[in-house]
Structure 1
Amino acid sequence: MKVAVWDTYVTRKDGKLMHFDILVDENLKDENQIFEYGKKYLKSILQEGQNLTSKECTFCHIDKVPEEIEQKIVNNGYAIIEMENCY
């Protein structure tokens, strides 16, 4: 499966900059839906209410993913790759 990788930087409630990628099917073009996936992730790590717009989240590239990530996308519509300061 090829996915679109959305590079995301959000300021956490404690002021640290968090970096994560939102991975979605390459055919998903609805930015608002992608932002909603990011907000759902933020809520799951107790960072709800933080800004998540085109300023914080931008399309980066198309990539191929391992089967375990593909299954997350098939089941949930998206997957998150945590990069920096997510906890």
Structure 2
Amino acid sequence: MKIAVWDTYVERPNGERMHFDILVPSDLEDKDQVYAFGEQYLESKPFKTGALDSKKCNFCHFENATAEVETAILQKGYYILEMENCL
């Protein structure tokens, strides 16, 4: 499966900057849907965060999905790859 990678940064109240990628099917072009996936992820966190917006969430590139990512995307439509300050 080919996926689109959306590079995302969100500020935390403690001043740290979260960095994560939102991975979606390559044919998903609706930015609002990608942002909604990001908001769902942020709501799952036990801490508050800043808002997700177009200045901090941008399409980055296409790549091939791993089996784990493909399974998650088929089940819920997206996958979050946590990179920095997400815990």
TM-score by length of 1: 0.94
Q: Does 1:17 align with 2:17?
A: yes
Match of 1:50 in 2: 50
Q: Distance in 2 between matches of 1:63 and 1:31?
A: 18
Which segment drifts farther, 40-49 or 54-63?
Answer: 40-49
Deviation at 1:12, TM superposition (A): 1.1
Unaligned runs of 5+ in 2: none
CA 32–48 in structure 1, closer or farther in 2 if over 3 Å, else same:
farther
Deviation at 1:46, TM superposition (A): 2.9
> Could you tell me the percent identity over the aligned residues?
49
Show CA shifts across 1:40-67 (max 9, x none): 0001113456211111100000000111
Alpha carbon RMSD of aligned pairs, Å? 1.1
Q: Which consecutive aligned stretches of 4+ in structure 1 deviate over 6 angstroms post-superposition?
A: none
Q: Distance in 1 between matches of 2:47 and 2:57?
A: 15
Give, as a single letter, the amino acid of the residue that structure 2 aligns with 1:17: R
